[in-house]
Structure 1
Amino acid sequence: MLDHCPPDYRLYPAWRRHPVALAWFTVRHLDAQLDAMRSAYREVRVELVDDIGPEGVAQVLSDLECEGVRLLSARRAAGLLLDALRGLEFVPRL
Structure 2
Amino acid sequence: MPDVGASVPPGWPEQVRPPGAPDWEHTAVAWLFDLVPPDYRAHEVLRRYPLLLARFAGDHVAAGLEAARAGWRTVRVELADHLPPDAIEAAVTAYEREGARLAAAARGVEVVAGALRGEVWVPRL
Scaled by the length of structure 1, what TM-score is found?
0.93
- After TM superposition, the runs of 4+ consecutive aligned structure 1 residues lying more than 4 A away are none
| Secondary structure, aligned partner of 1:62 | helix
More RCO (CA 8 Å, sep 6+): 1
Q: CA deviation at 1:93?
A: 3.9
Kindly indicate whether residue 59 of structure 2 is the aligned counterpart of residue 62 of structure 1.
no
Unaligned stretches of 5+ residues in structure 2: 1-31
**Distance between the aligned counterparts of 1:27 and 1:53, measured in 2?**
35
Q: What letter is aligned with 1:57? A: I
**Distance between the aligned counterparts of 2:61 and 2:120, measured in 1?**
23
Kindly indicate whether residue 34 of structure 2 is the aligned counterpart of residue 3 of structure 1.
yes
Q: CA deviation at 1:85?
A: 0.6
Corresponding residue of 1:92:
123
Q: Percent identity?
A: 43
**Distance between the aligned counterparts of 2:73 and 2:111, measured in 1?**
28
**Matched residue count:** 94
Corresponding residue of 1:33:
64
Write the deviation string for residues 25-60 of structure 1: whole angstroms up to 9, x where unpaired: 111111111011100100001011111121111000
Q: CA deviation at 1:91?
A: 2.7
Write the deviation string for residues 56-83 of structure 1: whole angstroms up to 9, x where unpaired: 1100001111111111111111110001
| Secondary structure, aligned partner of 1:51 | coil
**Distance between the aligned counterparts of 1:3 and 1:54, measured in 2?**
34
Unaligned stretches of 5+ residues in structure 1: none
**Distance between the aligned counterparts of 1:67 and 1:4, measured in 2?**
13
